[in-house]
Structure 1
Amino acid sequence: MKIFDAAIVRKADAVTIQKQQITATDLMERAATQVYLWVKQHFLDKDTAFYVFCGQGNNGGDGLVVARLLFKDGFDVVITIVEGAGKPTTDFLINLERVKQLGVSIVNTEYHPNTNSKRVIIDAIFGIGLTREPDEAVAAIIRYINNSAAIRVAIDVPSGMFLDRKTTIAVQADYLLTFQFPKLAFYLPDNYKYCNHIEILDIGLNKQFLKETPSNYHLTDRKEALKRFKPLLPYAHKGTQGHALLIGGSYGKIGAACLSVKAALKTGCGLVTAYIPKCGYEIVQTYIPEAMVITNGNKYITTIEHTIKTNAVGIGMGIGQEEETQQALFNFLKAQTQPVVIDADALNILAANKEWLTLLPEQSVITPHPKELERLMGSWDDDFDKLQKLQTLSKKHNIVIVAKDARTLVVQGNNIHINSTGNAALATGGSGDVLVGVITSLLAQGYTSNHASIFGVYLHGLTADIAVQEISAQSFTASDIIEYLGKAYKNLTVQG
């Protein structure tokens, strides 16, 4: 799903109004009606009181439409007009007159006591047009909303959030109901607290315009994942499903290699070989009887030499940073011509020897978590600075970067895909090792580096989304990711 900036959003509105021969007020009514329908479906209790905070721009107009529809449906509704939140727009004034004619309760910047446990605050103070910091009076209202015991529902954008730069204060929405397509800022780490649950509401914007307008940013939803999925063909056999080599492990960290190897097998790879130190031989052969094993060194890998033919290689999981291991990595990379998946200790070795990054074969995949990423490319001022640095690093070395986080980014050049699956259950040791196995397996099966990364990250996160419906997030482990890969594939193929 494409992600557009504020300028494109406004153009999409204008094209829709022109092509469909409607007014801006009509489009506002349509969009706000979708919010109303969602709210009505989720808050059925007629005892629920709705407190709608409206700025005086078009976002405030949306809020007024929602308030009017809820009031007509029999709900208790109070509207607060937030002075200082924009100049009154034509559509805002039209809808203000409509709620006045109905007799909806309207107050000016008045706070309401936290007495009703069935309270819902609807935030419609600012939308995508915000260009300056809220003044102190408006900031105080945002703080009041955030400190309220009420459920907070934001329309289109949490008020106070900037779409193109760092946000300092914004409504912390329990539910964010955004129009037509996602916005980049929603998925950046600095803004997680403002967007707890995101719903994308279709408001009927011109489909041709959306299809033909390019974007460097995408949200990897189910549809995007299925575009890249390669179903298992009826005549497939182990020789057609690729051979993956996973290089990793050291004394005390053989588990990392085990997780990667098993994940590669469970993701559909025909053959998987583990390249590990001798101390892990019996562990891997016992834990994963389906895997083949090559050993080198006793407690850690000292050289990387083999004669087997493989389709993809993943390296770094638990491999350690011994001097001989570092030299082995250098020699290995120097000899490679095909893309490699690089993780964990291998990334830390590269961070300590940044000139070695030039050895990476084109289209290699690196999978750093935030600290590993910082070691590789330095610190960043904010999330938008981080995005620019990621794009620069990817273009410089012609690599794919899987920047792991709560919302993992897949970066190739200027193009960034933001993953939509996964939850806090993945915050457990070994989940990154599993991801390396998944991506390497997909590479071996013939996926491109970009598609293997995008689809692999989506599949990896989907396991956790399925699992938390059956077990607690706290008890979820990296091994559970592997066990739920089958259900994740089933979820895609059955519902797809």
Structure 2
Amino acid sequence: MKILTAAQLAEADKVTLEKQDITSEELMERAGTLVFNEIHKRLQGAPIPIKIFCGIGNNGGDGLVVARHLIQHGYEVRTFIVNYSDKRSEDFLSNYEKLKEITNDWPELIKSKNGFPEIHTGDFVIDALFGIGLNRAVEGWPADLINLINTSQAFVLSIDMPSGLAPDQVFKDGAVIKAGYTLSFQSPKLSFYLPDTMEYVGDLQVIDIALDREYLGKVDSNIFLIGKEEAQSLYRSRKINSHKGDYGKVLIIGGSYGKIGSVILASRAAMRSGTGLCTVYIPECGYDALQISIPEVMVLTDQNSKMITKFPSDFDADVFCFGMGAGTNEATANALGEFLETQKKPVVIDADGINILSKNKSLLKKMPENSVITPHPGELKRLIGEWKDDFDKLDKVKALSKKFKLIIVVKGAHTFIVNNEEVYINSSGNPGMATAGSGDVLSGVITSFIGQNYSSLAATILAVYLHGSSGTLVSDQLGYESLLAGDIADNIGRAVQQLFNRNPEPEQKN
């Protein structure tokens, strides 16, 4: 799914009005009615006190449409106009008049803090204060109103966007509605998925308001949300007539004394993701652990008993993975540098491998084209330095990707995959996956799919999605707290089954 900017959505509105021969007021009626339908579907006429706070622009106009329909269906509604400016949009004014025609309880005007109503825990608050056109932080008494709503413990639903949040920028200061649910129009917004701002959105539902299909299909976007359909389109079924050689030969290099488990997790994930042949290269101290824990994997050992000091020369693999548990000592860093001097196949770099790159940035120039690095926030900061906000961070990651022709996986609650100027945002996963070893598993899955002859980008997008989906399948059974990284590796196959609506549930025993 494309993620569009505020300017693109405004243009989509304009094109829709022209092609569908409707007025902006009719489009507002359509959008507001769809929001009402979603609310009515859930409330079913329940006698819940509803308070709607409307700004004086088009977002406020949407709120007035919702208020009118709620009143006409017998709900207990109080509508407040937040008078933060003398300017009014025409569609707001039109819907204000329509609302007055159907009720004796005219909208209540708020001009200052003195006009704030009491908001109770049992209230249902609808936020229609500011929409995607907001261009500055919300301050002054409107900010006080937002803070009042946030501290009221009432359930809050935001129309299109939580007020105070902008789709394409972060305001350093100012108040933002913390919604429990957001009903957004046509396209999700980038700020819904960024670490600094995602907490304001709550549960998200995107409503199709039937903007012009041709425009939406053709408009250029370099930001995409990856969901089930996108993952399905990337996945390739196995041939009936095939053998292990058809599914790649991978080499995973890493581990050090006390950190062999990370390589076990990565190789286990690679095998569970369909790799034909997986070999690991580890210090001698890990030999027994690898052979016992995952006999399907072949093991080579470094001459050093506790760390990697040299990479295997002339090893024939389709893809290499390095970094998990390897440490950052000088001998290991030198070994990576020597390896990259002659390497042409894609390399997946994780964990300590990224820390070595951060300390020796000249190695980035030696990375084979379309290699993949998978930093968590701390590792990313060591690579690109500090950032002002998440938009600045994203710009710096794109610059790094473009300069060295790398695919960069920015791990987080919503993992971002950056390829040059393109950004792919993963929608699967859950908080239970914030556990030791989860990243090692992800690197193993990415490595596996590259080895199976997926492009590096397709392999990474698919791996990130299935990794998150597997984590959700497990946490749905065990809870967030009990989820282990090994569980994610072991359930990649169930995630693939779920992708195609095959029954992913384990067989019940009598």
Q: TM-score of the superposition, structure 1-length normalised?
A: 0.97
Change (3 A) 1:134 1:115: closer
Match status 1:190 vs 2:190 = no
Q: Partner of 2:222 in structure 1?
A: 216
SS class of match (1:205): coil
CA shift, 1:218, in A, is: 0.9
Which string of whole-angstrom CA distances, capped at 9 and with x for unpartnered residues, describes residues 356-394 of structure 1? 111101111000001101101111111111111011101
CA shift, 1:353, in A, is: 0.8
Match status 1:427 vs 2:431 = no
In structure 1, C-alpha distance between the alignment counterparts of 2:96 and 2:475, rounded to whole Å: 44
In structure 2, C-alpha distance between the alignment counterparts of 1:115 and 1:162, rounded to whole Å: 27
Match status 1:262 vs 2:263 = no
Q: Partner of 1:228 in structure 2?
A: 234
Q: List aligned pairs for 1:97-176, cutoff 5 A.
A: 97-103=97-103, 104=105, 106-109=107-110, 110-115=115-120, 117=122, 119-167=123-171, 168=173, 169-176=175-182
The answer on whether the counterparts of 1:248 and 1:316 sit within 8 Å (CA) in structure 2 is yes
Match status 1:328 vs 2:329 = no
Match status 1:363 vs 2:370 = yes
1:215 is aligned with what amino acid?
S
The answer on whether the counterparts of 2:120 and 2:154 sit within 8 Å (CA) in structure 1 is no
Deviates more, 1:183-192 or 1:464-473: 464-473
CA shift, 1:495, in A, is: 6.7
Deviating beyond 3 angstroms after TM superposition, the runs of 4 or more aligned structure 1 residues are none
The answer on whether the counterparts of 1:46 and 1:74 sit within 8 Å (CA) in structure 2 is no
In structure 2, C-alpha distance between the alignment counterparts of 1:468 and 1:390, rounded to whole Å: 31
Which string of whole-angstrom CA distances, capped at 9 and with x for unpartnered residues, describes residues 160-181 of structure 1? 1122221332111111111111
2:477 is aligned with what amino acid?
E
Match status 1:18 vs 2:23 = no
SS class of match (1:303): coil
Change (3 A) 1:475 1:105: farther
Instruction: Give the alignment's Cα RMSD to 1 decimal.
Output: 1.5
Query: What is the aligned counterpart of 1:243 among 249, 252, 259?
Result: 249
SS class of match (2:252): strand
1:437 is aligned with what amino acid?
G
CA shift, 1:463, in A, is: 1.5
CA shift, 1:237, in A, is: 1.9
Deviates more, 1:470-479 or 1:433-442: 470-479
CA shift, 1:406, in A, is: 1.1
SS class of match (2:332): helix
The answer on whether the counterparts of 2:120 and 2:152 sit within 8 Å (CA) in structure 1 is no
2:165 is aligned with what amino acid?
M
Q: Partner of 2:66 in structure 1?
A: 66
The answer on whether the counterparts of 1:258 and 1:288 sit within 8 Å (CA) in structure 2 is yes
In structure 1, C-alpha distance between the alignment counterparts of 2:318 and 2:142, rounded to whole Å: 58
* Structure 2 unaligned regions, length at least 5: 504-510
Q: Partner of 1:354 in structure 2?
A: 361
Q: List aligned pairs for 1:254-403, cutoff 5 A.
A: 254-296=260-302, 297-403=304-410
In structure 1, C-alpha distance between the alignment counterparts of 2:502 and 2:62, rounded to whole Å: 34
CA shift, 1:45, in A, is: 5.6
In structure 1, C-alpha distance between the alignment counterparts of 2:401 and 2:230, rounded to whole Å: 22
In structure 1, C-alpha distance between the alignment counterparts of 2:85 and 2:450, rounded to whole Å: 51
Which string of whole-angstrom CA distances, capped at 9 and with x for unpartnered residues, describes residues 120-174 of structure 1? 1111000011112223011111111111111111111111112222133211111
Change (3 A) 1:86 1:374: farther
In structure 2, C-alpha distance between the alignment counterparts of 1:488 and 1:246, rounded to whole Å: 23
CA shift, 1:307, in A, is: 4.5
- Would you say how many aligned residue pairs link Structure 1 and Structure 2? 495
1:173 is aligned with what amino acid?
A
1:17 is aligned with what amino acid?
L
2:393 is aligned with what amino acid?
K
In structure 2, C-alpha distance between the alignment counterparts of 1:377 and 1:116, rounded to whole Å: 44
